[in-house]
């Protein structure tokens, strides 16, 4: 429980907007309940439903409660944000409006794996990371980019489909 409190306090501190603070705090609480033992999941049903109702139906942000997100997760202008429940997101990441982190339907009808996002990754508005890809630490995903291949640590990816254009200093 002290880990949850520490995460919540850090998230409140790093998120600049009231809406993003609410989304991230409610996500942390829903995640805590949904990842716990069976009795905790039962106790958390009202909190999980409240989180889903408020964030998805009212605020237009879909972050599955079982998504693994590291500390200091920041949302700027959270609207139209979708993050797959099987995604893993590292510490100190920034997402903006319209970002999608999800899987894809392959030609053979199978569903791909979900993205694995390193620490310190920054997503531009309306960027998409799709499929079983790995985004390295401190990478940048440009606004409107559609990433369907791995992006190395420290690199910047832009375009449709995204290509790596330069490394970060």
Preceding peptide of 56 cis, ω within 30°: no
**DSSP 8-state symbol, 110:** P
**Distance between CA atoms of 152 and 130, rounded to whole angstroms?**
15
Three-class SS of residue 62? strand
Mean pLDDT, the chain cut into blocks of 10 residues (169 residues total): 84 92 94 91 94 94 94 91 94 95 88 93 96 95 95 93 76
Residues whose CB is less than 8 angstroms from the CB of residue 167 and which lie 6 or more positions away in sequence, other chains included: 152, 154, 155, 156
Other C-beta atoms closer than 10 Å to the C-beta of 45 total 11
Question: How many structural domains are present in the chain?
Answer: 1
Residues whose CB is less than 8 angstroms from the CB of residue 89 and which lie 6 or more positions away in sequence, other chains included: 67, 68, 69, 70, 73, 83, 101, 117, 121
Provide the pLDDT for residue 1: 63
Provide the pLDDT for residue 167: 64
Provide the pLDDT for residue 59: 92
Residue 135: its H or E element: strand 134-135
Provide the pLDDT for residue 146: 96
Contact between 150 and 134 (Cβ < 8 Å) = yes
**Distance between CA atoms of 91 and 117, rounded to whole angstroms?**
9
Provide the pLDDT for residue 26: 94
**Encoding tokens for residue 140?**
């940048």
Provide the pLDDT for residue 168: 56
Residue 33 belongs to domain spanning: 2-167
Integer angstrom CA distances of residue 107 from 61, 72, 110, 111: 28, 37, 7, 9
**Distance between CA atoms of 164 and 169, rounded to whole angstroms?**
15
Residue 65: its H or E element: none
Residue 101 sits in a domain whose CATH number is 2.160.10.10
Provide the pLDDT for residue 82: 95
């Amino acid at each position: 429980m002290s880990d949850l409190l520490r995460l919540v306090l850090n998230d409140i501190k790093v998120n600049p907007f009231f809406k993003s603070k609410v989304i991230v705090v409610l996500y942390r609480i829903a995640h805590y309940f949904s990842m716990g033992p069976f009795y905790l999941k039962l106790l958390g049903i009202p909190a999980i439903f409240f989180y889903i109702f408020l964030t998805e139906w009212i605020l237009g942000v879909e972050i599955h409660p079982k998504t693994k997100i590291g500390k200091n997760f920041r949302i700027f202008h959270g609207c139209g944000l979708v993050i797959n429940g099987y995604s893993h997101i590292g510490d100190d990441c920034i997402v903006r409006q319209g970002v999608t982190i999800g899987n894809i339907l392959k030609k053979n009808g199978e569903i791909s794996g979900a993205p694995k996002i390193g620490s310190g990754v920054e997503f531009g508005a309306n960027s998409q990371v799709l499929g079983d890809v790995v985004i390295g630490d401190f990478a940048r995903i440009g606004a409107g980019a559609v990433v369907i291949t791995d992006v190395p640590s420290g690199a910047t990816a832009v375009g449709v489909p995204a290509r790596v254009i330069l490394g970060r200093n």
